[in-house]
Structure 1
Amino acid sequence: MNSNNRIGGFTLLELLITLVIVSAIATFAIPSMGRLVKNAQRHTAVSDMIALVNLARNSAIMAQTTVTVCPLDENDECANDWSGEITVFRDPGASKTLGNAGQIIRIAPPSHGGQWIANTSSRPYFRFMPTGIANYAIGNMIWCPSNGDMTIARQLVINRGGRVRQSIDQDGDGIVENSNGNPIDCS
């Protein structure tokens, strides 16, 4: 046979070896991609909530009025269900009720891949005074992933000064701890 007339290409053996290598790599890469997506969802939800709280505090200072952050029920009153939309609105009478649509500063859509749980004592809101202080409504919020993986969950703490910070994992077990040193819980 003349070597100049040879047609280039892959042999069946070369193709099978390539497929085996690609499938082996995919076996390890695909589960990592799922975790990467969950981490990205968490990062987005936490960053958006920090921005929302900072917006509320800054709006209270700039407008020199009380600003409330909460989910609203069908009567436009603050409710306890933080899994849906969360509204930031001017609340000059500190009534925890949206008087009119003109008072809305921002409405945050529900977070993807998880939900927020707020721990604000007996209050279903966070309130910022004209000085920026979170008067009578300090507490924390926990972002709980929909898959229940507590290593992805995060907690935001709002102090009396109106500042927000993230809790950290102090014992290295992969789950952040609350102010008492106990792992946060989504149940």
Structure 2
Amino acid sequence: MKYLLAGLGNIGNEYAHTRHNIGFDIIAAFVHKHGGEFRNDRLAYVAEVKIKGRTGICICPTTYMNLSGKALKFWLEKEKIPLERSLTVLDDLALPLSKMRIKPAGSDGGHNGLRSIQALLNTTAYPKLRFGIGDTFPKGMQAEFVLGKWKKEEEPLVKLKIEKAVAAMEIFIFQGIEAAMNEINSKEFTL
């Protein structure tokens, strides 16, 4: 059983550990926990991890956010993984920092990475893990907020949520999306 686990973000040091790159950080934490290592491959940094007889193909696209669909489509096809056994991990402005959501389908919600995936796969019906980043920014400052680093006081909660997201990914792999949804969708994450 193979799964494609895709974290959305932008390559380059200026984007490292920003709100918009939380997908990269969660995938990296998952790969690290399971003893994998990334290699630079076609359209993505790729790591293959084995977990109790299952295989996770973990990707962080190197296409930049707006072209994430190219990497996702390529790796789904290359590894012959059905769409329902993929999980796309991303930041979400519409959710507060205390929330995360897993759903089997859903719109792009204005997220450029999801818009690219949706356009290339021609569907909104693929599993997503949305990591709430909140929307605490002044009017007109959305891009700066999304591409900005976490505030010092947010970092401990972000770290906790990354751990919970990794655990939810494991539940997704072993018990399915319903169990993963039950695990995190109604939870309020606080310190």
TM-score range, shorter chain: under 0.3
Q: TM-score, normalised by structure 1?
A: 0.24
Structure with the largest fraction of helix: 2
Higher Rg of the two aligned structures: 1
Q: TM-score, normalised by structure 2?
A: 0.23
Higher relative contact order, structure no. (Cα contacts within 8 Å, ≥ 6 residues apart): 2
